[in-house]
Amino acid sequence: METSTPMDAKSTSTTTDPSTLTAGATTGPPRATERTPGAGPRSTRRVKAQLPFGVRWRRDWQMVLMMVPGVLFLIVFFYLPVLGNVVAFQDFQPYLGIMHSEWNGLQNFVNLYANPDFWDALRNTMILAGVQLLLFFPVPLAMALIVDSLVSNRIRRAFQTIAYLPHFLSWVLVIALFQQSLGGAGFVNNLLRQAGLDPIPFMTNPDTFPLLVVGQLIWKDAGWAMIIFLAALSAVDVSLYEAAAADGAGRWRRLWHITLPSMRTVIVLLLILRIGDILSVGFEQFILQRDSVGPGAAEVLDTFTYYAGVVGGDWSSGAAAGLAKGVVGALLLWGANSIAHRLGEPGIFQKRSGS
């Protein structure tokens, strides 16, 4: 009987295959565009930065030209109006203009915070924003999950078309439709009268106005907000569902352990954007219903700014309210993004690796 000795094992381990030597000799050093061991994103960025400007321009000039209209739109309608915030620190007079109006420092903000109407508008804004965040935000996600679970493509397309259409209607038409359906002389209250019941003031009750606003928002924009969640669902690997089904996981377990974790980054991103825009609950929707429910329920920061600045002629106070709203929104956005980073999510403003 032959037995292997340690020397035999050693000689066996040091024996090399000629094909391996040939493959290694022909491979050569890695190219500059490949990722080598120990080379991180910084080395990749360094290789790309070595290209001359002329080469990059000849390669990407079509994309740059396509981007020009969007950049001009942002500059003209978003960035240039920011310079008008200087009015918040002036006693602005339209006939004198910005250059000749007197400066009064922070007096406009002092007057704003001493105004009880501002605090009423802020309270209504926070209540409505909280109700919208709790009741509206999950609806597009649930609708996307329902559409993704539909087997028939015909039914799926029909559902998506019906859900998208209300987004393209103006708020004037949406409020008119709700008035014809739920108003005092609307369809529902006429049915209640015919049944011998008292009509219900759906459109004029200040106590239920937040629910009415959220219902209108869901009917109009939930279908359109579903698009981003559908795009995230399409990126989920189908093999994960097949493997989970083979292991005996039901529909709900696959939803909880595969679908929702795969969409977590998108959900956190949209939640951060919503928190940053939480003080902008809407303008047209509230100004159209302000007289029916009263300013005590429908006055928000946007309508307060309009009535104080445009209608009342106090342009400086209106600008101060708008600037305060923007600063608070920016702080909320930064805070939500920082919390997302602590939870391990990329958020909006991603950190560079190694910095």
Beta bridge partners of 91: 102
Report residue 25's pLDDT band, with 50, 70 and 90 as the boundaries. very low
Residues 6 or more apart in contact with residue 322 via CB below 8 angstroms: 85, 88, 305, 309
Q: What is the mean pLDDT of residues 30-56?
A: 56
Residue 211 lies in a domain: yes
What's the pLDDT at 249?
Answer: 84
Using only C-alpha atoms, the chain has a radius of gyration, in whole angstroms, of 30
Residue 127 lies in a domain: yes
| pLDDT tens digits along 88-145 | 898 888 888 888 888 888 888 998 889 898 999 999 999 998 888 888 989 999 999 9
- pLDDT of 312 over the 80 cut: yes
CATH number at residue 216: 1.10.3720.10
Per-position DSSP letters for 279-342, written without gaps between them: T---SHHHHTTHHHH-HHHH--HHHHHIIIIIIS--HHHHHHHHHHHHHHHHHHHHHHHHHHHH
Residue 82 lies in a domain: no
- Amino acid identity at 67: M
Report residue 62's pLDDT band, with 50, 70 and 90 as the boundaries. very high
What's the pLDDT at 216?
Answer: 93
From residue 301, how far is each of 77, 123, 215, 305, 316 by CA, in Å? 21, 9, 21, 6, 15
- pLDDT of 349 over the 90 cut: no
Range of the domain at 235: 108-342
Tokens, residue 294: 């009263």
Whether the model pTM is above 0.85: no
Residue 237 lies in a domain: yes
Residue 91 lies in a domain: no
Tell which residue, 289, 82, 252, has the closest CA to residue 174: 289
Residue 72 lies in a domain: no
- pLDDT of 353 over the 70 cut: no
- What crossing angle do the helices spanning 315-342 and 264-276 adopt, rounded to 10°? 160
Lowest mean pLDDT among 33-42, 231-240, 278-287: 33-42
- Is beta strand 90-91 parallel, antiparallel or unpaired with respect to 102-103? antiparallel
- pLDDT of 296 over the 60 cut: yes
- In whole angstroms, give the CA distance from residue 232 to residue 255: 14
